[in-house]
């Protein structure tokens, strides 16, 4: 038997190679595996079924060139209510900035395992910079076919000192260039809730903390047996996602069963509502379940920016939303507790939000 086969037949060796030594699934993929290691085989009910794809359905594509136009505002609020997901084009984030951050993502994941592993949970100089694989390798019964670098923004100085040199400038540029778009989207969405005026306190509550992730999904030997990212909704207020031209992101249809593909559109950004905004809007804006399939022939990258409340903020339905007598569906929760609850378990679809539900629901 070839040495590689011996190595990968043993549970602890795969985990050690991928998780502890920092090779990630990229390292596994590059060994030219013929079969998926058993650690990655998802139970039948978590595998993606092509039969559930609705082929001609699409999330809205919104042209933001005239972004003060009330029709554009209406499309954004309608999409947030009906789909929880939409794509934007002519969004004013320069296309070169998007190209540069995609190149930087490839540059970071192209580094040696030893170099990337300097940012692992165990070795990283800060909790705000984390290279890892899958989602929560301790809690998951089956691992996910994805490596990531997660960068929590604190200050330019910290980013400059602690983020990986291979990508720090480009990630900062992308994150900062998206700020105008994010503010515009939040202004429109707040107006749709009749939450008027974006004072400093409200702005901090909606977008007080920012985390940018670089995701890498390498070629997988048996993509039908595993997932890139399992079913989940984001815990953010809003997520701005840049994807490359490979495809594979699916959004749950309104029937709760079907899946709708989010086709790559050159120069576009995918926007989705996260749990924090679902809670603050008392369920009017929907944070929708999504997943990423594994791919048998191409490597894929994506770069989500998660716009969040600050960890120390308490979130709950806005008083303006309840002013007409609407009953609150969610209680007040400390955002840090909510996020910890999300990260402590494996992906489990829309269950995270139950943490914030009032017990009568």
Does residue 234 touch Fe ion according to CB under 5 A?
yes
Cβ–Cβ < 8 Å for 87, 269: yes
Smallest Cα–Cα separation from 171: which of 147, 149, 203, 146?
Answer: 149
Q: Least distance in Å: CB of 241 to ligand AKG? A: 6
- From the list 74-82, 98-106, 156-164, 233-241, the region that binds Fe ion by CB under 5 A is 233-241
Contact pattern from residue 191 through residue 230 relative to ligand AKG, giving x for each residue in contact according to CB under 6 A and a dash for the rest:
----------------------x-x-------------x-
Contacts of 280 (CB under 8 A, 6+ apart): 205, 206, 237, 315, 316, 317, 318, 321
Measuring CA to CA, which residue among 204, 105, 206 is closest to residue 164? 105
In Å, what is the CA distance from 252 to each residue of 29, 59, 249, 356? 28, 10, 10, 21
Residue 317 to residues 197, 209, 309, 320, 338, Cα–Cα distance (Å): 17, 19, 13, 8, 15
Instruction: List interacting residues with ligand LKXUNLCO (CB under 6 A).
Output: 127, 130, 135, 148, 150, 152, 209, 211, 213, 229, 232, 234-236, 274, 306, 308, 311, 336, 339-340, 343
The partner in contact with residue 339, picked from Fe ion, ligand LKXUNLCO, ligand AKG, none with C-beta cut-offs of 5 to 8 angstroms by kind, is: ligand LKXUNLCO
Q: Which stretch binds Fe ion (CB under 5 A): 49-57, 109-117, 234-242, 349-357?
A: 234-242
**Interacting partner of 249 out of ligand LKXUNLCO, Fe ion, ligand AKG, none (Cβ under 5 to 8 A depending on kind):** ligand AKG
Is 185 near ligand AKG (CB under 6 A)? no
Q: Count other C-beta atoms under 10 Å from residue 74's C-beta.
A: 12
Partner that binds at residue 292, options Fe ion, ligand LKXUNLCO, ligand AKG, none, CB closer than 5 to 8 Å by kind: ligand AKG
3-state helix, strand, coil in the chain (%, to 5): 35, 20, 45
Measured distance CA(62)–CA(268) in Å, rounded: 10
Smallest distance from Fe ion to CB 258, Å: 18
Which whole-number Å values give the CA distances from 78 to 82, 98, 186, 188, 208, in the listed order?
Answer: 6, 27, 14, 11, 25
Query: CA-CA distance, 299 to 243, in Å (whole number)?
Result: 12
Q: Is residue 249 within the footprint of ligand AKG (CB under 6 A)?
A: yes
Using CB under 6 A, count the residues that bind ligand AKG: 11
CB 10 within 8 A of CB 106: no
**φ, ψ at 283 (rounded to 5°):** 95, 0
Binding-site string for ligand AKG from residue 290 to residue 309, where x marks contact by CB under 6 A and - marks none: x-x---------x-x-----
Residue range at the interface with ligand AKG (CB under 6 A); choices 241-249, 281-289, 333-341, 345-353: 241-249
Shortest Å, Cβ 308 to ligand AKG: 12
Q: Which of residues 8 and 210 has its CB atom nearest to ligand LKXUNLCO in the complex?
A: 210
For residue 5, give the H/E element and its range: helix 3-8
* Nearest approach, Cβ of residue 139 and ligand LKXUNLCO (Å): 8
Tell the smallest beta-carbon distance from residue 359 to Fe ion (Å). 27
Instruction: Name the binder of 193 from Fe ion, ligand AKG, ligand LKXUNLCO, none, CB < 5-8 A by kind.
Output: none
Nearest to 103 by CA among 152, 43, 162, 170: 170
261 or 341: whose CB is closer to ligand LKXUNLCO?
Answer: 341
- Residue 63 or 348 with smaller CB distance to ligand LKXUNLCO: 348
Q: Which is nearer to Fe ion, 117 or 150 (CB)?
A: 150
Q: Contact, 317 vs 282, CB < 8 A?
A: yes
Packing angle, helices 179-192 and 70-82, rounded to 10: 80
The footprint of ligand AKG (CB under 6 A) covers 213, 215, 229, 234, 241, 243, 249, 290, 292, 302, 304
């Amino acid at each position: 038997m070839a040495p590689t086969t011996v190595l990968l037949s043993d549970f602890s060796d795969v985990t050690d190679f991928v998780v502890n030594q920092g090779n990630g699934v990229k390292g596994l993929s590059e060994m030219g595996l013929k079969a998926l290691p058993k650690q990655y085989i998802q139970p039948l009910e978590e595998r993606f079924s092509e039969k559930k794809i609705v082929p001609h359905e699409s999330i809205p594509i919104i042209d933001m060139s005239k972004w003060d136009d009330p029709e554009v505002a209406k499309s954004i609020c309608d999409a947030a209510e009906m789909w929880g997901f939409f794509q934007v084009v002519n969004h004013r984030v320069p296309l070169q900035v998007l190209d540069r951050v995609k190149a930087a993502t490839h540059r970071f994941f192209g580094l040696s395992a030893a170099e990337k592993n300097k940012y692992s949970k165990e070795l990283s100089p800060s909790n705000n910079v984390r290279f890892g694989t899958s989602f929560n390798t301790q809690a998951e019964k089956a691992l996910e076919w994805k490596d990531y670098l997660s960068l929590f923004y604190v200050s330019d100085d910290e980013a400059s000192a602690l983020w990986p040199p291979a990508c720090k400038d480009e990630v900062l540029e992308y994150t900062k260039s998206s700020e105008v778009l994010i503010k515009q989207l939040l202004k429109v969405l707040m107006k749709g809730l009749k939450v008027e005026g974006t004072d400093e306190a409200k702005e901090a509550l909606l977008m007080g903390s920012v985390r940018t992730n670089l995701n890498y999904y390498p070629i997988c030997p048996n993509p039908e047996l595993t997932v890139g990212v399992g079913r989940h909704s984001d815990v953010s207020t809003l997520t701005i996602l840049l994807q490359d031209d490979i495809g594979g992101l699916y959004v749950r249809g309104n029937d709760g069963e079907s899946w709708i593909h989010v086709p790559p559109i050159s120069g576009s950004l995918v926007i989705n509502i996260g749990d924090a905004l679902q809670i603050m809007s008392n369920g009017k804006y929907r944070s929708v379940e999504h997943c990423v399939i594994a791919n048998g022939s191409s490597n894929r990258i994506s770069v989500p920016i998660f716009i969040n409340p600050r960890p120390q903020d308490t979130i709950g339905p806005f008083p303006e939303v309840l002013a007409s007598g609407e009953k609150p569906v969610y209680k007040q929760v400390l955002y840090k507790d909510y996020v910890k609850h999300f990260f402590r378990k494996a992906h489990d679809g829309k269950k995270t939000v139950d943490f914030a539900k009032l017990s009568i629901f």
